Amino acid sequence: MARSSNQKLKILYLMKILFNETDENNALTVNDLIARLAKANIDVERKTIYSDILALRDFGLDIKMERSKTYNYFMASRTFELPELKLLVDAVQSSKFITIKKSNELIKKLQSLASRYEAVQLQRQVYVSNRVKTMNESIYYNVDVIHQAIISGKKIGFKYFEYTVDKQKKYRKDGQFYEVSPVSLTWDDENYYLITYSLKYQDLTHYRVDKMTDIFLSNEPRDIYNKDEFDVALYAQKVFGMFNGEEQQVKIQFDNSLVGVVVDRFGKNVNIIKSDEAHFTVSLKITISPVFVGWLFQFGAMVKVLSPDSLIEELRQQAYSIFKLYS
């Protein structure tokens, strides 16, 4: 690019330098700024630096000046502060549905929102290579298509697979396409799920987004589910581990030490009733599934199901099966 062309971009280069190379602990003098602009083939006088900084402040940038032997300038605040960026980096790292490749790409983009000095602190937090991550790189395209379908009121089609014991993909329905009416996306137990509605069966079901392939947007209108009656968070509370099952009213007695566990799982609005000095009970609508049964077993004798009888009998049978396995 010619010198004259770069001169026209002077104030943009100045903004980029301040954004990338300064923060509260790292300021640049006017001479530093002139030298860095010179590397971009831009000649500038001191008074022009002052006027351009004023213009950038008027534009809304939080550029501060500290005075010592010289005037030193730095970017005092950004759209995202460093603690917020660390929080976002942690979220990307811990998201199982984001592949290692995409995790590193997203973290690199997050680093670009900080100064190069603060970006180093984010780099120290990057430990994604040994985490359990999805292997499906198309998940981001899948999510985009699903959002398009929900907004445009269309069905989507896809193939759905599971893994065999030799870690190979095996498609359900012999590789035939599913065609479903999307209702919502939800993130549960470190996985992304698509919740769908079937007008034929008058029921909701869900699919792991990272297990979808060959997804496409259909021209057929989707079956409409009354959103006023649907609460994604409530659905996730009822459906343990996103396993389907029969929804039933369940009454459970817990040891008082588990009150935090119950609130974490079912929310602060859960109705807790004191049963005696050592226990409390809750009554909830729960989708009965192997995951829910396993969740109860992890607490041992600190949890007792009071109803329904069908769940009590299932717990007895499971307990006896485990007893026989180790006897």
Confidence (pLDDT) at 303: 95
In angstroms, rounded to a whole number, what is the distance separating the alpha carbons of residues 303 and 297?
A: 8
* Whether the domain at 3-75 and the domain at 139-230 fall into the same CATH topology: no
In angstroms, rounded to a whole number, what is the distance separating the alpha carbons of residues 84 and 90?
A: 10
Instruction: Tell me which of 45 and 8 has the higher pLDDT.
Output: 45
Confidence (pLDDT) at 125: 47
Confidence (pLDDT) at 132: 55
Average model confidence (pLDDT) across the chain: 86
Q: What is the token pair recorded at 190?
A: 């470190």
| 106-115, 161-170, 263-272, range with greatest mean pLDDT | 106-115
Phi, psi of 27 (to 5 degrees): -110, 165
Q: Give pTM, 2 decimals.
A: 0.62
Please report, for the chain, the start and end positions of each structural domain, with discontinuous segments joined by +.
Answer: 3-75, 82-123, 139-230, 236-326
In angstroms, rounded to a whole number, what is the distance separating the alpha carbons of residues 253 and 186?
A: 29
CATH architecture of the region 139-230: Roll (2.30)
Confidence (pLDDT) at 135: 63
CATH architecture of the region 3-75: Orthogonal Bundle (1.10)
In angstroms, rounded to a whole number, what is the distance separating the alpha carbons of residues 201 and 204?
A: 8
In angstroms, rounded to a whole number, what is the distance separating the alpha carbons of residues 290 and 294?
A: 6
Confidence (pLDDT) at 232: 77
Q: What is the token pair recorded at 122?
A: 């984010």
pLDDT tops 50 at residue 27: yes
Produce one character per residue of 133-170: b if its CB has 16 or more CB atoms within 10 Å, e if not: bbebeebeebbebbeebbeeebbbbbbbbeeeeeeeee
Confidence (pLDDT) at 123: 67
CA distances from 274 to 56, 242, 299, 316 (A): 61, 30, 19, 25
Confidence (pLDDT) at 191: 78
pLDDT tops 80 at residue 161: yes
Confidence (pLDDT) at 129: 47
Summarised one tens digit per residue, pLDDT across range 34-85 is: 999 999 999 999 999 999 999 999 999 999 999 888 889 999 999 999 989 9
**Per-residue confidence band for 146, with pLDDT thresholds at 50, 70 and 90:** very high
Confidence (pLDDT) at 268: 79
The interaxial angle of helices 46-59 and 30-39, nearest 10 deg, is 90
- Give the dihedral sign, CA 218/164/100/83: positive
Return the H-helix or E-strand segment holding 316. Answer: helix 309-326
Beta-carbon contacts of residue 194 (< 8 Å; ≥ 6 apart): 146, 180, 182, 184, 185, 206, 207, 209, 212
Summarised one tens digit per residue, pLDDT across range 212-256 is: 999 999 999 998 887 666 777 777 766 655 567 778 899 999 999
pLDDT tops 70 at residue 124: no
**Per-residue confidence band for 2, with pLDDT thresholds at 50, 70 and 90:** very low
Confidence (pLDDT) at 128: 45
**Per-residue confidence band for 5, with pLDDT thresholds at 50, 70 and 90:** low
Produce one character per residue of 224-257: b if its CB has 16 or more CB atoms within 10 Å, e if not: ebeeeeeebeebbbbbbebeebeeeebebbbbee
